[in-house]
Amino acid sequence: MNGERTATGAGGDSSSGPPLLELAGVGKDYAKIESRGGRVALVWDLLRGRGASSAFTAVDGVSFAMRAGESLGVIGENGAGKSTLLKVVAGVIRPTRGTVSVRGRVGALLELGSGFHPEYTGSQNIDLAAALLGVTPAELAQRRESIVRFADLGPHLDDPIKHYSSGMVVRLGFAVATALAPDVLITDEVLAVGDESFQKKCMAWMENYLAGGGTLLLCSHSMYHVQKLCRHALWLRAGRVERYGPAIEVTQAYLAWHEEKSGAGKARRPEVHTGEGPDVHRVRSLALDPGEFVRIGAPLTVRGEAYSPDARAPVVLIGLVRADGTPVYGVATDMDGVAPRRIAHDRYAFSLEFPSLSLLPGKYVVRAHALDPEGVYLFDHVELPLTVTGESRELGLVRLAHRWDGEPPAESPSPAATRPDTTG
């Protein structure tokens, strides 16, 4: 894809009016200094009004627009230019070329807590951060209670933040930034920091923010989170737009490219948390109907029970894997907008039917995974062997409906058989 192609319409249904965020041909270069003499030459060039003679292009030719209520995920390898792009949008750095137009208040979660004063208490830093963001004292007074409640620092709110752990600083930074109701929220790997409970709280907040019409620009290495939170995605490669489109399509293309690059042939899965005990979501049982052996094209039903430690319906992910470990297919309950059926205080039943199994003959493994209700962490999985029987000379893993050019179509009822009866 050409890097200057405009990526518009990210998120939900397009809204009327001008875009809240619009980039046109944005690029950012950084001067390269390879020696002490190079530093002097750079200063001399700048004093004479010239650009750097040697520069590294971090971002080049990026254009897209976002309207209210839309969500866009920015993905790519380390060094692809994701963080640079978000900093340009947030106004932290100026682009070397191109234009950035922002209408409305922007909340940027790029380096949480970076603007805090270490000698000030948490409460004093709330005042400082709000002032830097242009929030009036009256607005802050209305939102202070929600900030304190979200940060959940207890008595430590009155301690200097130089004594805070990194997780406590992150809590305060997220609480301040998100409580100010930004028109556009920009986040850079916010779900990769903090403890598990904080990440769940962040996920829930962003889902509510989007449901309320918020506009989200999310940068993440987690394709699961991009698919869950964003309608569209933009893949940056070496600073240019490699691909733009629906989040599912772009993330799948990105993962396929990674698999081809690494040669591992293994798909990414959500982060796995192993463990025992009552506080872990688990798959209690798993069964296949009609059993381990199924003919190609016949129906297959995967049934089981999952345990939830907090009596909330977990997310169940069912995967089909070839015996050599090659992923074939996977689907989770939250992808289809369903939830397991509650059968006891802490137990939930699930059932997934494949009306016509299209797997080619061979040996497979059916996996059932239990995730937390937010669908962030994968805690447990159970496997059962599956053998698909039948005769086929086709190649690959699945049978796809097809017809060769010139092949006679399938038999259809004769005209006489379909003609309506008019004799009565």
Q: How would you class 173 by CB atoms within 10 Å of its CB: exposed for 0-12, middle for 13-18, buried for 19 or more?
A: buried
| Token duo for residue 158 | 């009155």
Total number of domains in the chain: 2
- pTM, two decimal places: 0.66
CA gap 13, 389 in Å, rounded? 45
CA gap 261, 242 in Å, rounded? 15
Residues 75 and 199 in one domain: yes
Would 410 be classed as within a structural domain?
no
Would 412 be classed as within a structural domain?
no
The closest of 113, 85, 96 to 31, measured between CA atoms, is 96
CA gap 240, 82 in Å, rounded? 10
Name the stretches of the chain with pLDDT < 70.
1-17, 33-54, 111-114, 190-194, 259-260, 262-279, 408-424
Residues 291 and 231 in one domain: no
Would 411 be classed as within a structural domain?
no
Would 404 be classed as within a structural domain?
no
CATH of the domain at 345: 2.60.40.2550
CATH of the domain at 179: 3.40.50.300
Would 355 be classed as within a structural domain?
yes
Domain extent for 299? 282-389
Q: How would you class 152 by CB atoms within 10 Å of its CB: exposed for 0-12, middle for 13-18, buried for 19 or more?
A: middle
The closest of 89, 96, 97, 91 to 72, measured between CA atoms, is 89
CA gap 379, 331 in Å, rounded? 16
Would 408 be classed as within a structural domain?
no
Residues 258 and 293 in one domain: no
pLDDT of residue 16: 57
Q: What is the dihedral of CA 145, 148, 154, 158, to 10 degrees?
A: -100
Q: Which pairs with CB-CB distance under 8 Å and at least 24 residues apart come from 229-232?
A: 229/71, 229/73, 229/203, 230/10, 230/11, 230/71, 230/72, 230/73, 231/10, 231/11, 231/12, 231/70, 231/71, 231/72, 232/7, 232/9, 232/10, 232/11, 232/70, 232/71, 232/72, 232/73
**Which DSSP helix (H) or strand (E) runs through 132?**
helix 122-132
Residues 292 and 154 in one domain: no
Residues 371 and 257 in one domain: no
Residues 231 and 373 in one domain: no
Beta strands in 378-420 (DSSP E): 378-389
Residues 255 and 302 in one domain: no
| Token duo for residue 178 | 């998100």
Residues 101 and 19 in one domain: yes
CA gap 21, 234 in Å, rounded? 15
Q: How would you class 314 by CB atoms within 10 Å of its CB: exposed for 0-12, middle for 13-18, buried for 19 or more?
A: buried
Residues 225 and 150 in one domain: yes
pLDDT of residue 311: 84
Which residues, listed in sequence order, are joined to residue 283 by a DSSP beta bridge? 306
Residues 297 and 196 in one domain: no
Residues 28 and 176 in one domain: yes
Asked which of 198, 227, 262 is the last residue of a domain, the reply is 262
Would 409 be classed as within a structural domain?
no
pLDDT of residue 8: 36
Q: How would you class 405 by CB atoms within 10 Å of its CB: exposed for 0-12, middle for 13-18, buried for 19 or more?
A: exposed
Residues 297 and 257 in one domain: no
In contact, 336 and 375? CB cutoff 8 Å: no
The closest of 307, 303, 319 to 283, measured between CA atoms, is 307
The closest of 272, 269, 191 to 230, measured between CA atoms, is 191
